[in-house]
Chains A and B, each alone.
Chain A
Amino acid sequence: MRKNRFKIILILAAIALSLYYLYPTYQSSEYQKKLAQLSGQAKFDSYLKTHPIPPLTDSARAFYIDSLRQYFSADSLKYYDENANKIVDAKLKRIKLGLDLQGGMHVVLEVNVIKMLQDMAKNKDQTFNEIMQQVSAQAKATDADPLDLLQQQFEQRGIRLSRYYGDIRDDNAKVMSYLRDQTKSAVDRAMEIVRNRVDQYGVSEPSIQKQGNSRIVVELPGVSNESEVRQLLQGTALLEFKLLKPTDVVVKVFQAIDNVLAGKVDTSSATQDTTSSDTTMTAEQFARKHPFFAVVRVNPQTGDAYVAENDRDKLERMLLRPDVQRVIPSDFQFLYSAKPQIVAQGAKYYELFVVKKDPELTGSVVTNAQAQIDPTTNSPIVTMQMNSEGSREWARITGANIGKRIAIVLDNAVYSAPVVRSKITGGNSQIEGMGSVEEANLLAIVLRAGALPAPVDIVEERNVGPSLGEDSIKNGVTAGIVGLSFIVLFMFFYYRTGGAAADFAVLLNILFILGVLAGFHATLTLPGIAGMILTVAIAVDANVLIYERIREELATGKTLRAAIDQGYSKAFTAIFDSNIISLFTGAILYQFGTGPVQGFALTLMIGILASLFSAIIITRVIFDIMIERGATEINFG
């Protein structure tokens, strides 16, 4: 016992540590179970079955259902509030599941340097555009640094860079170093903005990492709304405030367009027969007579216009026609709402906004925006603050446009178009009328997001639905259990007592791997599970080597103790060498792989170290103790 005391302490410590690190994972799953049990969804459903909803108006009905839901979820909310810290803590410390197992999005963003160079240039002219075209073509073909290409182009043509960048007196070297700084920091700026936006979006445990010089890897577990995330990440985000054109003017222009499209020459007399008298016509007749209004549906009372999702291309084409262009005033711009406003008969309708082309103000003046609940009306609102320069402008703009609507436009999509109630001085505004807290949140996000300082492209996107992840876990676990049971049974029948010791070591080995994964906050991926299964197979190899050796030694007539000593020491070099090599390949794989493959490499490396420990030290201690207790024979099959 004495000579093994250190080893035994080591083993017990390893077990204790693994359990300590794994406890939060267990705890977290218990909390989830408890919360699911308390959430009352089942109770709520069964209540609804036995108690039909009384006949109510739509809004009252929604309120009735909401309060019922609140009543039934009160238990879980109370439980959560009481244990919030513990629940969050356990969640942070548990073994993280990779995106391939829990579903989510993996996006790689790359700063588009060429676009950025384009955006940064001033006094752009024909020559500049030609140069940029050349640079862009060359960068695509040769993979060279766009900045170098840009410099080459300028030098070839004998033009100074300062014509477009920096101060006119700067020499090329100075401008280049300025541009280089800007591109370098672009990634960092983009990353900060992306992080900020992702945080605001409220994804749990997102991961945002810089990869190389110009890439950002964003991992968003559990996110399924890709298009929203994509907008959030990528939007080269230009936020603008644009004034809506007055409804009566807009309707007149619509009618003019309709007349042009229908082939009518007269534009003034036909204004009366647009909507009301056409109700008796079939859809086809109507479309022929009023091609524009067949696509753009105008609400006669409010003047709001809507376009079906499928008709948007058609409308674009109509608006691009030169004869149509002629009747559209030059400062008109047609924009859609960011989200469909009405869904009817399976079709999504987007609101069509007609705004003044030049923005009143750009989003760079916004310093903060927040979604809140207005305490007096109990409805969601968005508050927005601007810097001093923006506040001055904002006061002038709002003062001059009371009663008009100002569209909040991000990347040419209108998120909201509130009516200006009064002149806003001091830069603090409040936007109300949102239908839900979610809507308010999104608007606040849009306002805060402002403009990305560097345009980014999505160069890689992986998206796993949650159900696929569940399947993957199930498959991985099944394969693992089948493989593990086979090995455990085989080892026991083939090596008897020795096999039982090896089995014990293998089970501890799995505990250690999971413990280390949890301890390092590493991520378990599906290939990682495969790696764990493989590790088990490799782990018993060490024991097979040792036991075969012990059998050989026993066959030459050595005593049990001598045979075990010799078996372990003679097998050691082979075990050591082969595992070191596996460790090398694991490290190389970790270096070159991405995402799930890195997960695999990590589990493999942890597994190799853990299996060396359990196969060599743990089994040895077991045999030593057995011999000390007086065993003269240990069955190695």
Chain B
Amino acid sequence: MRFFPKTNIDFIGKRHIWYTVSITFIVIGLVTMAIRGLNYGIDFKGGTELTVKFENPVNIATVRSALDKVGFGDAEIKTFGSANRLLITVKQTSQGSTVTNEILTQLQNTFPNNPLQLLQENKIGPKIGQELRKDAVMAIFYSLIAILIYVSLRFQFIYAVGAVVALFHDVLITLGAVAVFSWLVPWLNLQINQTMVAAFLTLVGYSMNDTVVIFDRIRENLKIYKGENLIRVMNRSINDTLSRTIITSATAFVVLLALLIFGGEVTRGFAFAMLVGVVTGTYSSIYVASSLVVDYNIYIKKVDLRLPASQSPVLEVEKHYEISPKRA
């Protein structure tokens, strides 16, 4: 079986269109983040978060007004998985169990005929939240540095720069997607928490796979076709690896989709971020990482990569003569 026959697509030639698309997406994400803010989870914000299970579904508005009466007017209340499970987040923390008890008592008093059960309780002091946030940013920063060093050792420095810019692009777009979706599709419960940060680091590693595979092929083809035009070699290399790129991304996509659908609330944010990351990671290894290397050669090193009209932008591997039975 073969989904992708040999292709000759001029990827690099259309890079400027895709730059625009990328920048548009990033700007949408950044604007959403600026207006709506990022929905930080309890890990980074500090506060008390309770998961409560009622015997029967309850009305969120009733819960809200009930909690308002005991001084938790700013509580965030969402359903968690099913209609009878609520995720309640408040800013307050307390030594001991006062906040939790107050909320639970108030809820039980409000719904006397609807027994409730505390499934999960997280309390993070504000200081810890700050530290975890710092740690998360540092982790992503260090991994980008590590990648920059490793890729420049294995390839050329400019390739490393292209790869890291592509990763940065992936992280920004995914962050933007998280912001947009947590605003437009609130029931997804997308929160920036530790698991989400794990997803970002994983997607950094994963998205590197695609980039490295393409760079590896470019390196190999540059050796074979010495003196060839860089754009033609790059297009050839991307086309050569296209089948693999798409199959791998598609399988990862389906697996993550399964995790998003069946994995439950806890891993949903992770699966979502990774899903977006797989798509943008695949795309960025072509249109950001490789394209940047081309533009660096054109604009900084002033290499003339313009192709004569007669030449195809994709390097064609010369065909062998073929011999077959004479047709009648």
Q: Is the CB of A594 within 8 A of B194?
A: yes
Which residues of chain A (214-241) have a CB below 8 Å from chain B?
226-227, 230, 234
In this assembly, does B10 line the interface, its C-beta being within 8 Å of a C-beta of chain A? no
In this assembly, does A248 line the interface, its C-beta being within 8 Å of a C-beta of chain B? no
Which residues of chain A (416-466) have a CB below 8 Å from chain B?
457-465
A462, A596, A597: residue with the most chain B Cβ atoms closer than 10 Å: A597
Question: In the complex where A475-B263, A536-B255 touch, is A585 in contact with B143 (Cβ < 8 A)?
Answer: yes
Residues of B within 8 A of A592 (CB): 135-136, 138-139
Q: Is the CB of B212 within 8 A of A577?
A: yes
Distance in angstroms from B137 CB to nearest chain A CB is: 10
User: Which residue of the partner chain A has the closest CB to B241?
Assistant: A548
Question: In the complex where A486-B255, A527-B195, A548-B243 touch, is A585 in contact with B154 (Cβ < 8 A)?
Answer: no
User: Which residue of the partner chain B has the closest CB to A227?
Assistant: B97
Contact pick for A533, options B147, B255, B264, CB 8 Å: B255
Distance in angstroms from A463 CB to nearest chain B CB is: 4
Residues of A within 8 A of B118 (CB): 463, 465
In this assembly, does A257 line the interface, its C-beta being within 8 Å of a C-beta of chain B? no
Contact pick for A591, options B119, B139, B220, CB 8 Å: B139
User: Which residue of the partner chain B has the closest CB to A473?
Assistant: B264
Contact pick for A538, options B212, B252, B266, B267, CB 8 Å: B252
Residues of B within 8 A of A230 (CB): 96-97
Binary contact track A551-588/B, C-beta < 8 Å → 1, others 0: 11000000000000000001001100110111011101
Q: In the complex, what distance in Å separates the CA atom of A460 from the CA atom of B127?
A: 10
Question: In the complex where A486-B258, A545-B244, A597-B195 touch, is A472 in contact with B264 (Cβ < 8 A)?
Answer: yes
Residues of A within 8 A of B81 (CB): 471
In this assembly, does A26 line the interface, its C-beta being within 8 Å of a C-beta of chain B? no
Q: In the complex, what distance in Å separates the CA atom of A226 from the CA atom of B104?
A: 14
Q: In the complex, what distance in Å separates the CA atom of A596 from the CA atom of B198?
A: 10
Binary contact track A517-546/B, C-beta < 8 Å → 1, others 0: 000000000110111011011101100110
Distance in angstroms from B157 CB to nearest chain A CB is: 16
Q: Is the CB of A459 within 8 A of B125?
A: yes
In this assembly, does B295 line the interface, its C-beta being within 8 Å of a C-beta of chain A? no
Distance in angstroms from B132 CB to nearest chain A CB is: 8
Residues of A within 8 A of B195 (CB): 527, 596-597, 600
Residues of B within 8 A of A471 (CB): 81, 264
Distance in angstroms from A13 CB to nearest chain B CB is: 29
In this assembly, does A479 line the interface, its C-beta being within 8 Å of a C-beta of chain B? yes
Distance in angstroms from B118 CB to nearest chain A CB is: 7
In this assembly, does A403 line the interface, its C-beta being within 8 Å of a C-beta of chain B? no
Q: In the complex, what distance in Å separates the CA atom of A570 from the CA atom of B240?
A: 13
Q: In the complex, what distance in Å separates the CA atom of A570 from the CA atom of B127?
A: 51
Q: Is the interface of B mostly helix, strand, loop or mixed?
A: helix
Q: Is the CB of B139 within 8 A of A589?
A: yes
In this assembly, does B247 line the interface, its C-beta being within 8 Å of a C-beta of chain A? yes
Q: In the complex, what distance in Å separates the CA atom of A461 from the CA atom of B201?
A: 25
In this assembly, does A263 line the interface, its C-beta being within 8 Å of a C-beta of chain B? no
Question: In the complex where A486-B258, A573-B216 touch, is A461 in contact with B139 (Cβ < 8 A)?
Answer: no
Residues of A within 8 A of B248 (CB): 540-541, 544-545
Segment among A156-164, A183-191, A487-495 that sits at the interface with chain B: A487-495
Q: Is the CB of A538 within 8 A of B123?
A: no
Q: In the complex, what distance in Å separates the CA atom of A457 from the CA atom of B96?
A: 10
Q: Is the CB of B212 within 8 A of A581?
A: yes
Q: Is the CB of A476 within 8 A of B267?
A: yes
A460, A475, A483, A527: residue with the most chain B Cβ atoms closer than 10 Å: A460
Distance in angstroms from A216 CB to nearest chain B CB is: 13
Which residues of chain B (81-127) have a CB below 8 Å from chain A?
81, 95-97, 117-125, 127
User: Which residue of the partner chain A has the closest CB to B117?
Assistant: A465
Distance in angstroms from A248 CB to nearest chain B CB is: 36
In this assembly, does A351 line the interface, its C-beta being within 8 Å of a C-beta of chain B? no
In this assembly, does B187 line the interface, its C-beta being within 8 Å of a C-beta of chain A? no
Q: Is the CB of B194 within 8 A of A593?
A: yes
Contact pick for B128, options A459, A478, A544, A597, CB 8 Å: A459
In this assembly, does A468 line the interface, its C-beta being within 8 Å of a C-beta of chain B? yes
User: Which residue of the partner chain B has the closest CB to A461?
Assistant: B123
Q: In the complex, what distance in Å separates the CA atom of A464 from the CA atom of B121?
A: 6
Q: In the complex, what distance in Å separates the CA atom of A551 from the CA atom of B271?
A: 32
In this assembly, does B40 line the interface, its C-beta being within 8 Å of a C-beta of chain A? no
Q: Is the interface of A mostly helix, strand, loop or mixed?
A: helix
Contact pick for A530, options B136, B147, B263, CB 8 Å: B263
Q: Is the CB of A527 within 8 A of B125?
A: no
Distance in angstroms from A472 CB to nearest chain B CB is: 6
Q: In the complex, what distance in Å separates the CA atom of A462 from the CA atom of B198?
A: 19
Residues of A within 8 A of B243 (CB): 548
Q: In the complex, what distance in Å separates the CA atom of A551 from the CA atom of B138?
A: 42
Q: Is the CB of B120 within 8 A of A465?
A: yes
Residues of B within 8 A of A548 (CB): 241, 243-244, 247
In this assembly, does B283 line the interface, its C-beta being within 8 Å of a C-beta of chain A? no
Question: In the complex where A460-B125, A486-B254 touch, is A472 in contact with B213 (Cβ < 8 A)?
Answer: no
In this assembly, does A482 line the interface, its C-beta being within 8 Å of a C-beta of chain B? yes
Segment among B11-19, B28-36, B176-184, B203-211 that sits at the interface with chain A: B203-211
Distance in angstroms from B214 CB to nearest chain A CB is: 9
Q: Is the CB of A584 within 8 A of B119?
A: no
Q: Is the CB of A108 within 8 A of B251?
A: no
In this assembly, does B64 line the interface, its C-beta being within 8 Å of a C-beta of chain A? no
Residues of B within 8 A of A531 (CB): 202
In this assembly, does A300 line the interface, its C-beta being within 8 Å of a C-beta of chain B? no
Question: In the complex where A483-B258, A601-B198 touch, is A588 in contact with B96 (Cβ < 8 A)?
Answer: no
Question: In the complex where A467-B119, A471-B264, A578-B213 touch, is A585 in contact with B135 (Cβ < 8 A)?
Answer: no
Residues of A within 8 A of B201 (CB): 585-586, 588-589
Residues of A within 8 A of B2 (CB): 551, 637
A108, A478, A490, A589: residue with the most chain B Cβ atoms closer than 10 Å: A589
Q: Is the CB of A537 within 8 A of B255?
A: yes
Residues of A within 8 A of B252 (CB): 534, 537-538, 541
In this assembly, does A604 line the interface, its C-beta being within 8 Å of a C-beta of chain B? yes
Residues of A within 8 A of B206 (CB): 534, 538, 582
Q: Is the CB of A530 within 8 A of B124?
A: no
Which residues of chain B (256-290) have a CB below 8 Å from chain A?
256, 258-259, 261-264, 266-267, 270-271, 274
Distance in angstroms from B165 CB to nearest chain A CB is: 16
User: Which residue of the partner chain A has the closest CB to B252?
Assistant: A537
Q: In the complex, what distance in Å separates the CA atom of A457 from the CA atom of B118?
A: 23
In this assembly, does B158 line the interface, its C-beta being within 8 Å of a C-beta of chain A? no
Residues of A within 8 A of B138 (CB): 592
Contact pick for A479, options B121, B154, B198, B263, CB 8 Å: B263
Residues of B within 8 A of A464 (CB): 119-120
In this assembly, does A100 line the interface, its C-beta being within 8 Å of a C-beta of chain B? yes
Q: Is the CB of B270 within 8 A of A458?
A: no
In this assembly, does B305 line the interface, its C-beta being within 8 Å of a C-beta of chain A? no
In this assembly, does B142 line the interface, its C-beta being within 8 Å of a C-beta of chain A? yes
A-B contact pairs, 29 of them (CB 8 A): A108-B128, A457-B95, A457-B125, A460-B123, A460-B128, A461-B123, A464-B120, A465-B118, A467-B119, A471-B264, A476-B263, A478-B263, A482-B262, A483-B255, A483-B259, A486-B251, A494-B247, A527-B195, A537-B251, A537-B256, A541-B251, A541-B252, A548-B243, A548-B247, A574-B213, A577-B216, A581-B150, A584-B147, A594-B132
If A544-B251, A594-B132 are given as contacts, then 4 extra A-B residue pairs at C-beta distance below 8 Å, sorted by A number, are: A486-B258, A494-B3, A541-B251, A570-B220
The 3 closest A-B pairs by CB, nearest first: A475-B264, A483-B255, A585-B205
